[in-house]
A and B are shown apart, each in its own frame.
Chain A
Amino acid sequence: NAGVTQTPKFRVLKTGQSMTLLCAQDMNHEYMYWYRQDPGMGLRLIHYSVGEGTTAKGEVPDGYNVSRLKKQNFLLGLESAAPSQTSVYFCASIAGGPTDTQYFGPGTRLTVL
């Protein structure tokens, strides 16, 4: 099993450009999440999904959109990138049982100039 994978690993954007980050998991997990991590801080939840075809807002959703058309994939979109979106983005998934833990992808380092 590859676990949780993220594409791309690094990206540099100019202000106003758009991009999509792809998260894929091969563990048949129902729940998927997108977090951002800023220097010296913990992770903050952007959006999440409790199953195929569903999405919901997290703590810091502004400027981002998501889609979960397939159970194994969760896409994070930036329509018009801003320097404030410079961050490391982590995807995670969990099966949802009471003793389960979230499995995290390797992260995408995004810089917006």
Chain B
Amino acid sequence: ELKVEQNPLFLSMQEGKNYTIYCNYSTTSDRLYWYRQDPGKSLESLFVLLSNGAVKQEGRLMASLDTKARLSTLHITAAVHDLSATYFCAVDKAAGNKLTFGGGTRVLVKP
């Protein structure tokens, strides 16, 4: 059974500082995704990571994937208030593109 764990569950950030969210998964998978969810809203896709060593960046967010360690990280550079949200990682197996989600990391960026 595929299990996905994120840590920390909650992250209080100071503006301007750097932080990392970790996503571990239990079995080999084909793709890893990062999503953002604002309170009361739907999920917004941030990144799709396909292969070992993959790195993607968008603004202050950078995601990387180490398939050998079964670990993905989401790095936040110089946090700003607009990045306050809950971040989810999800892993899929090719058959049916079914996603298994981590429990989410709630990020609060304080001025």
- Interchain CB contact (< 8 A) of A42 among B42, B98, B102: B102
Are A42 and B96 neighbours in the complex by a CB distance under 8 Å?
A: no
Q: How large is the interface on A (under 10, 10 to 19, 20 to 34, 35 or more residues)?
A: 20 to 34
1/0 per residue, CB under 8 A from B, across A12-41: the answer is: 000000000000000000010100000011
Please indicate the chain A residues that have their CB under 8 angstroms from the CB of B98 in the complex: 33, 45, 48, 58
Q: A103 to B88, Cβ gap below 8 A?
A: no
Interface of A is mostly: loop
The reply to whether A56 and B101 form a contact with Cβ atoms under 8 Å apart is no
Is A99 in contact with B104, judged by CB distance below 8 angstroms?
no
Q: Is A42 touching B104 in the complex (CB atoms < 8 A)?
A: yes
Chain A residues close to B by CB (< 8 Å): 31, 33, 40-45, 48, 50, 56, 58-59, 90, 92, 94, 96, 98-107
